[in-house]
Amino acid sequence: MKLAIVQFKPRKGEVETNLAALGDVFAQLAAEEKPYDLIVFPEAALTGYFLEGAVYELAFSTNTLAERLARLWRERAPVKRLKPVDVAIGFYENDGGTYHNSAMYLHVTPERHEVIHVHRKMFLPTYGVFDEERFLSRGRRLQAFDTRFGRMALLICEDMWHALMPTIAAIKGARALIVPSASPGRGIEGRDGELESIRYWHELLHATAVEHGVFIFYAGLAGFEGGKGMTGSSRAVDPRGATLAEAPALGAFIIRAEIDFGEVDLARASLPLLGDLGAVLPDLLLDDELLPSLAHERRP
């Protein structure tokens, strides 16, 4: 599978301008000699992240966005090079008047398109500079889904920081985790001046890949919004924790990688942590101390 991760730098609130820029990316990628199989964009890629109340004006219905992306791919790809492509992108979703921070996995062919899966962000941060839960509803379920390349899961930014989320995705069969993100820079770490937030992301992505034997495709939003700098740092990580490709923290950027999903089987065979978890999980789930309130209700 040929992968492109697009570190996108949108203009806040300017949807049509951002769609035009995304079309330019499509044209650039489609013109390359070997066609791409999967293109991944960041969280809130077409609107910018810090929208607050403007999210209600700029959110998309899933079908509307899918139609626009499919049409844009067909319009911008040269006719002779118009091949099927999968696109994963983060967006603000209007689901009949309920608003979510969502990510879509879309399959596009020259004749049709299909929404394979939509994930709604489950952990909406409300600390520091974040105020998502004031304006959005959280998702209620994490699912893995089948693609033409293998089973995958979508996790949006803070979803990834809760270890239970990638664990559940892996247990449900995900062989790759797609992580659209919009992460403002925080803290200065060490003599080299690396931001703490970037270092934490690197450590988290690599440790998760090794623990569960999964590929991780992390797409970070770039640019500045209201004085807050998004830290980009997009990367592809293999199931042994090695970096396949990475982008710098600043600016729009495209990284490319060749993905062999056979590596997942080899990584899990050499370090069978996921198999061990499957054996122990039933006992863990029967532990009534995991849900103290429910456990209390069950006691006589």
CATH assignment at residue 175: 3.60.110.10
Amino acid at 192: D
Q: What is the pLDDT of residues 187-242, one digit of tens each?
A: 665 556 678 889 999 999 999 999 999 999 999 999 998 778 899 999 999 999 99
What total of structural domains would you count in the chain?
1
Amino acid at 3: L
Taking only Cα atoms into account, the Rg of the chain, rounded to an integer number of angstroms, comes to 19
Name the residue range of residue 52's domain. Answer: 2-298
Proportion of the chain above pLDDT 90, given as a percent: 79
**Residue 180, Cβ neighbours under 10 Å: how many?**
34
Lookup: tokens for 126: 């409300």
DSSP string, 152-220: EEE--GGGGGSTHHHHHHHHTT-SEEEEEE--B---EETTTTEEHHHHHHHHHHHHHHHHHT-EEEEEE
Amino acid at 58: L
Query: What is the reported pLDDT for 278?
Result: 87
Q: What is the pLDDT of residues 50-64, one digit of tens each?
A: 998 999 999 999 999
Banded model confidence at residue 292, pLDDT cuts 50, 70, 90: low
Mean pLDDT of the chain: 92
Q: Which residues are CB-neighbours of 114 under 8 A, at least 6 positions away?
A: 106, 107
Long-range contacts of 63-68 (CB under 8 A, 24+ apart): 63/115, 65/89, 65/91, 65/104, 66/104, 66/106, 66/113, 66/115, 67/113, 68/19
Which residue reads 């969502």 in tokens?
A: 102
Query: What is the reported pLDDT for 295?
Result: 47
Q: 234 near 220, Cβ under 8 Å?
A: yes
DSSP classification of residue 60: B
Q: State how far the Cα of 161 lies from the Cα of 154, in Å rounded to an integer.
A: 13
Banded model confidence at residue 284, pLDDT cuts 50, 70, 90: confident
Average pLDDT of the residues in 72-95:
92
Q: State how far the Cα of 292 lies from the Cα of 173, in Å rounded to an integer.
A: 29
Lowest-confidence range among 32-41, 79-88, 186-195, 197-206? Answer: 186-195
